Amino acid sequence: MSRFDEYRDPALVRAVVRDIAATVDRPAVLMEICGGQTHAIVRSGLDQLLPATITLVHGPGCPVCVTPLETIDRALAIAARPEVIFTSFGDMLRVPGSTGDLLGVRAAGGDVRVVYSPLDALQLAADRPDREVVFLAIGFETTAPANAMAVLEAERRGVGNFSVLCSHVCVPGAMRAILGSPRNRVEAFLAAGHVCAVMGTREYEPIAREFRVPIVVTGFEPLDLARGILAAVRQLREGRAEVENAYGRAVTAAGNWHAQAALERVFRLGDHKWRGIGPIPLSGLHLREAYTRFDATRRFGVGDVAPAEPSVCIAGEVLQGQRKPFECPAFGSTCTPERPLGATMVSGEGACAAYYRYRRDATP
């Protein structure tokens, strides 16, 4: 018996759905932040079990999807250089830039390699002092601590041919941007459990108070998500707007202070551009001045790029919960996982990829 069986038990999920139906007393729009949550919801059919009065919209919590086009274009330029070994997690290799993707660079002779950890890239740099080794460091507060540790370890070991192309984003800034938009539809959030395992839950409390919005931390199994939805609709019915932890087996209020200390040492919080959305104040992690010698953008002089996003792609609106993937005129026709126009179709956590894979079109 798997330790996850309880959280995937259809009978238990349906029982919670019945509680949701008995609790919800008006139409409500809830946003799950994380792309992993989106795929779990669509894969399990949870969204189709819910009462019609509940609408789930899909947030900007897919790290691949929100990595700005400029970063991808910089990656393509760096990876094509003959002195560079360019390393990345595998899910970034097919993300489209303005002129292609990293798989195309590799096919053209660039030394592009998949690694399982930034420390693998660092070891490669130590083993190959004749080459420049670059790691594409993207993602939310979940992946940022490992990248911070790689930079600290490079400093400790004196590995001077290692650098990171950094594009780290933070959830609270995105929440504020969504809630502050005149087109906002979101009345409650399902927050991502893995982010909160690192950062805790306390940083969401000012957002809940300021915008009067419930924020419920959930896991990634159907029962976790159903319980999170139930907690959110209970708060809406009772007129409460609180941060609630429905993922207590993994998340505490304080989070992981070791990881937070590494982030604080290596990175500073600043404005950041999100793909399809645009600049969001105080939503990104940037290398502190003491560590800019590990900044690949500076090292290779690729700060100035002119990206060109396909005009037909509505990924930005999907990521903000304003539209559904099937509303895109390119969905499933000129944009497919094999030939994606945007990162939301190619990523394993992208909402468009989830709708395509699980055959959802024109489904609430």
pLDDT in tens, 15-48: 999 999 999 999 999 999 998 999 999 999 999 9
* The pLDDT value given to residue 154: 98
* The pLDDT value given to residue 309: 74
Homologous superfamily of 65-169+270-300 in CATH? HypD, alpha/beta domain 2 (3.40.50.11740)
- Second-level CATH architecture of 5-62+171-245: 3-Layer(aba) Sandwich (3.40)
C-beta of residue 45 within 8 angstroms of C-beta of residue 202 = no
CA dihedral 132, 118, 32, 97 (to 10 degrees): 20
C-beta of residue 245 within 8 angstroms of C-beta of residue 232 = no
Residue spans per domain, the chain = 5-62+171-245, 65-169+270-300, 315-357
CA dihedral 85, 90, 94, 97 (to 10 degrees): -50
Burial class (CB in 10 A: 0-12, 13-18, 19+), 175: buried
Residue 58: Cβ within 10 Å count = 31
* The pLDDT value given to residue 363: 45
Q: Which pTM was predicted? A: 0.91
pLDDT per residue as tens, the chain (364 positions): 567 788 999 999 999 999 999 999 999 999 999 989 999 999 999 999 999 999 999 999 888 889 999 999 999 999 999 999 999 999 899 998 988 999 999 999 999 999 999 999 999 999 999 999 999 999 999 999 999 999 999 999 999 999 999 999 999 999 999 999 999 999 999 999 999 999 999 999 999 999 999 999 999 999 999 999 999 999 999 999 999 999 999 999 999 999 999 999 999 999 999 988 889 999 999 999 999 999 999 999 998 877 777 788 888 898 888 999 999 999 988 999 888 888 888 877 888 988 988 877 654 4
